Amino acid sequence: MSVTIYDVAKAADVSIATVSKVINKKGRISDLTRERVLKVMEELDYRPSVLASALMGKNTNTLGLLIPDIINPFFAELSRHIEDRANELEYNVIICNTDYQQEKEKNYIQLLKQKSVDGFILASGFEDPTEVERLIEEEIPVVIVAREFPLFSVNGVALNDYIGGQMAAKHLVDRGHQNIGIIARDLWSNRERVRGFCDYLQSQGLEKHPEFEFIRDDNLTHIITGKKAAEHYLTKNSRPSAIFACNDLLAAGAIQATRLHGLRIPEDIAIVGFDDTTLTRMIDPPLTTVAQPIEQMGNEIVDLMLGVIDGSVKGEKHITLMPSMKVRETT
Amino acid sequence: MSVTIYDVAKAADVSIATVSKVINKKGRISDLTRERVLKVMEELDYRPSVLASALMGKNTNTLGLLIPDIINPFFAELSRHIEDRANELEYNVIICNTDYQQEKEKNYIQLLKQKSVDGFILASGFEDPTEVERLIEEEIPVVIVAREFPLFSVNGVALNDYIGGQMAAKHLVDRGHQNIGIIARDLWSNRERVRGFCDYLQSQGLEKHPEFEFIRDDNLTHIITGKKAAEHYLTKNSRPSAIFACNDLLAAGAIQATRLHGLRIPEDIAIVGFDDTTLTRMIDPPLTTVAQPIEQMGNEIVDLMLGVIDGSVKGEKHITLMPSMKVRETT
DNA sequence: TATAAAGGATAAAGCGCTTAACCTTATGAG
DNA sequence: CTCATAAGGTTAAGCGCTTTATCCTTTATA
């Protein structure tokens, strides 16, 4: 097998305890011995087994990340930033796709617990919080990102989705739209966005589109879902002059449907998305959207996670990030 | 702490060896004892520590996956399928983004080795094969996906990129195009695609565009790179009538550039992509592309990887998948 | 009835590491 | 010159599990 602490100890003519001490910079060691051990470690290209040290109670330096679906550009980007930041801090991350299915969420948590990950970053739905509550009971570090907080106490960073919804509404209303369709899935974040959106409309004496309802079928890709939902509005005789889609993917679908109906964007129909993924710049016309600071979110959540792990974060810490409008060419 | 094998043994009034046997279904145990132990395990909600058993030489049930960038839809989709298949087989995967940087490739391999992952799935560049060669020397399972094979012996599944290039060329030439621009990055897969493309052109008595050269600057997103590269062709007076982009992202960029120049797609310029990511259906018009069977690729590679791990795959196994044309609306 | 073979469970070593407790030698205060 | 103290190291136990050698019962066989 590979070289162990025993090999190093033997080669440096010290005990394994001494080697361990120089690795962990603990206890008293003379400079001379330290140098010698270090040199031997170098020569033998020794790498401590994470397994063995974790078994002794040290960290595995591994994080579990539960997201709905990596194919969704928002989560791909979030994951990327999380992975980058984690890696800077010598951590690896195990990404699990849950498709918002509670069964999968539960299984993954079990699996990762057995692997002794140091903590969980949750970005999935968790409509049923029992599994999460159990983690907390067992004092396993958990943080939540990109989702509002449940009743019990968890640390996390999230966007103020409510204000994001309001911004989208204001943007559209300012441009004279009165009759606006909404496309949203039945998820916490989407519900908040819609709530903000509708509250703003109401504050301006406007009402939400009578045909609006949350989308529940999850078997389709968001893009198709968005397309279908937009069709729904376009075939009504009270056709809206604008559509607010609760994420960029849904918006992209809406754009396709709009095009199929021979309508021009933004002249005939304006469209606003949410998230500000790179997708907004891949499609044509570039999508006006409510931006989440995805990179910052990723950085903050891993910093928070590590804070929880090393105990430096005490009490409950909720970091709320603010959205911003990115006006491009669909409005 | 959590419940260990000792707790189970005590509660079931047997030795830990017995418990271990029923967990691993090894050795001889009477049905009576087995039932009793099983029941106790259930009651205590016992989960064996992966750490401890891995330390004794068993698998960690964790795979390392090295990809260039999860934000690239092709790799997002590939990763998703890999993760799904791995999960079916009780494996987790640690995804690492290398950005094609050899330094990162090397660091990640080191890091994951320390964590005793059971094997590596490589989908990154690895222009420098020394690290990979070392893995093989150390008999750590490695497979390569979505990339041609290096000189030394590794198992893997890949697309026949050469034929993919030919298909793209044939498709375009069949539609009467004679003057075709190529957008490609300086990567193995892209080089192969271009080779196939040019060979087909030559077989038809045509030549590649005089302005063609491989793109080397990696600091940009592919989409911008594609846009810039397309600009390059569009401003020449020998403007091509078609562009072959070596991946969908580059193609999307090319579409944008084309639009900016007021040209119609496909009337003025036809565009062919490569990969057949979901992006092809998110953009407008839907992109004609050379399709890789991404899901199959993901499934095959993890099956192969597990085969290597459990020793059932012996010798060298190269699975080559075939591309197919997906004709949509950009040609 | 004596004996071998099988069946069922156990004790104990060891995986690679950390850490508390302990031992030795040099150092300086009294 | 003695004794406490500190510095520098070592010993050994133990983390939670697997596995081999071993032991004690039964049961089948001659």
pLDDT digits (tens, 9 = 90+) for B105-142: 999 999 999 999 999 999 987 778 888 999 999 999 99
pLDDT exceeds cutoff 70 at B1: no
What pLDDT is attached to residue A150?
A: 66
| B54·A51 Cβ contact <8 A | yes
A225 touches chain B (CB under 8 A): no
Q: Are B271 and B175 in contact (CB under 8 A)?
A: no
Residue B205 reports pLDDT greater than 80: yes
Closest CB to B223 among A83, A221, A282: A282
- Interchain pair A282, B249: CB under 8 A: yes
The nearest alpha carbon in chain B to A286 belongs to B256
Q: What is the pLDDT of residue B243?
A: 97
User: Residue B272: beta bridge partners?
Assistant: B244, B288
Identify nearest nucleotide to residue A30 by CA to C1′ distance. Answer: D8
Q: What's the pLDDT score for residue A151?
A: 64
Per-residue buried b or exposed e for A111-146, using 16+ beta carbons within 10 Å of the residue's own CB: bbbbbbbbbbbbbbbbeeeebbbebeeeebbbbbbb
Cβ of B16 < 7 Å from strand C? yes
Nucleotide nearest to B55 (CA to C1'): C15
Whether chain B has a CB inside 8 Å of the CB on A264: the answer is no
| Residue B104: pLDDT over 80 | yes
The per-residue pLDDT for B194 is 97
Neighbours of A20 (CB within 10 A): 18
Q: Is the pLDDT reported for residue B259 higher than 70?
A: yes
Paired residues of A185 in beta bridges: A215
pLDDT, tens digit (0-9, with 9 covering 90-100), for B270-285: 999 999 999 999 888 8
Overall average pLDDT of the A51-64 stretch: 96
**pLDDT at B218 exceeding the cut of 80:** no
Task: Express as a percent the part of chain A with pLDDT over 70.
Answer: 98
Higher pLDDT, B131 or A163: A163
Kindly report the bases of strand D lying within 7 A of a protein C-beta atom. 7-12, 14-20
Nearest Cα residue to B185 out of B215, B164, B227, B212: B215
Could you tell me the pLDDT band of residue A22, with boundaries at 50, 70 and 90?
very high
Please tell me the pTM assigned to this model. 0.94
Question: Model confidence over A32-44: pLDDT tens digits?
Answer: 999 999 999 999 9
CA atoms within 13 A on the CB side of A10: 7
Residue A211: band (very low, low, confident or very high) from pLDDT cuts 50, 70, 90: confident
